[in-house]
Amino acid sequence: MKQTNWNTNTQKVRAWAENQDPSDNLQMVMLTLTMGDNAGNDELRSTYWTAIRSIGSTLDNFPTARRGRESTLTEEQDSALMAVEATLTAAFASIPTEYHALLLSVCVPHGRTGGVYADMDAYINKQVSSAHAEMVKSIKESRWDGVSLDDGVPQITPSLTKADLEESEEE
Domain that holds residue 95: 71-155
- Let me know: does 120 contact 103? Beta carbons within 8 Å: yes
Cα 70 to Cα 55: distance, rounded to the nearest angstrom? 25
Per-residue pLDDT at 170 exceeds 80: no
Are residues 12 and 47 located together in one domain of the fold?
yes
Residue 72 CA neighbour count, 13 Å, CB half? 5
Are residues 15 and 90 located together in one domain of the fold?
no
- Let me know: does 117 contact 123? Beta carbons within 8 Å: yes
By CB atoms closer than 10 A (0-12, 13-18, 19+), residue 89 is buried
pLDDT digits (tens, 9 = 90+) for 78-101: 888 988 988 898 899 899 999 999
- Give me the number of domains the chain comprises: 2
Residue 170 domain-assigned? no
In this structure, what DSSP letter does residue 152 have? T
Are residues 114 and 81 located together in one domain of the fold?
yes
pTM of the model: 0.66
Q: What is the pLDDT of residue 140?
A: 94
Phi-psi region of 66 (alpha: psi -120 to 50; beta: other; left: phi over 0): beta
Of the candidates 20, 27, 23, the residue with the CA atom closest to the CA atom of residue 121: 20
